[in-house]
Amino acid sequence: MSTTADTLAVLVAGADEVGRGALAGPVYAAAVILPRYHGIKGMDDSKKLLPEAREELAPKIRRKALAWAVASASLEEIERLNILHASMLAIRRAVEALAPAPASVRVDGNYPPPLGCPVETVVGGDGKIGSIMAASILAKVERDAEMRRLHAQFPEYGFASNKGYGTPEHLEALQRIGPCAIHRRLFGPVAQMSLLLGDCPYFPSLPAEVGDER
């Protein structure tokens, strides 16, 4: 790609995370640089799109983007850093994987991740700005695929359909059999069930100091 002044002017990435409010699984993020006239129709906040629409849009975004990347933060990182900082870590990883590197980044929300370039936070950006919409869609598609893979290991919780979020069926499974190894141990409903049920088939006991941090 040419590095003319005009090209550099469009190297503004959009970034977003997915899975921050889930009770299980990793948190994902994506960063996307779109050309000015990308021609991708139908993009929106990934939460507002049907799964079929997201799956249809994702390859179009990858094909049209000047650069794109998807990254994640693990369950261990969520528990060690807290979900906010783990989400920012996933965004940073996605942005740092972009080639070419962006001149600046627009991030959905009101919390700027620590990046090596200027950051603009945009509340509701995943429904307003094309590059953030694109990032939201790519992150959602990748995380959903990971939760379907995890469903094969832990089918009792319905991860293929609920993607780790606290649906009534998921909460019922937590009450019935307790948490599994990919549940976020410090999240309220999970922590409560682990304390009530004690040791669970897939789930190590919480250390006393972890239980005290709820």
The model's pLDDT over 93-123, given as tens digits with 9 standing for 90+, comes to 999 999 999 999 999 999 999 999 999 999 9
Task: Give the type of residue at 59.
Answer: P
Structure confidence at residue 186 (pLDDT): 85
Report whether pLDDT(202) > 60.
Answer: no
Closest to 27 measured CA to CA, from 99, 69, 78 = 78
Q: Average pLDDT of 58-73?
A: 98
Number of domains in the chain: 2
Give the confidence band of 142 by pLDDT, cuts at 50, 70, 90.
very high
Q: Please give the Cα distance from 24 to 148 (Å, whole number).
A: 12
Structure confidence at residue 104 (pLDDT):
97
195 compared with 122, residue with greater pLDDT: 122
Q: What mean pLDDT do residues 145-156 have?
A: 97
Is the per-residue pLDDT at 9 higher than 60? no
* Cα gap 160→197, rounded to integer Å: 25
Could you tell me if 188 and 139 lie in one domain? no
In this structure, how many other beta carbons lie within 10 angstroms of the beta carbon of residue 96?
A: 14
- The verdict on 78 and 107 lying in the same domain is yes
Average pLDDT over residues 174-199: 77
What's the token pair of residue 16?
């977003």
Residues 113 and 193 in one domain: no
pLDDT of 193 reads: 61
Question: Where among 96, 125, 145 does a domain terminate?
Answer: 145
Are 8 and 103 in contact by the 8 Å Cβ rule? The answer is yes
Residues 110 and 162 in one domain: no
Rounded Cα distance between 122 and 212, Å, is: 35
- For the cut 80, the answer to whether the pLDDT of residue 27 exceeds it is yes
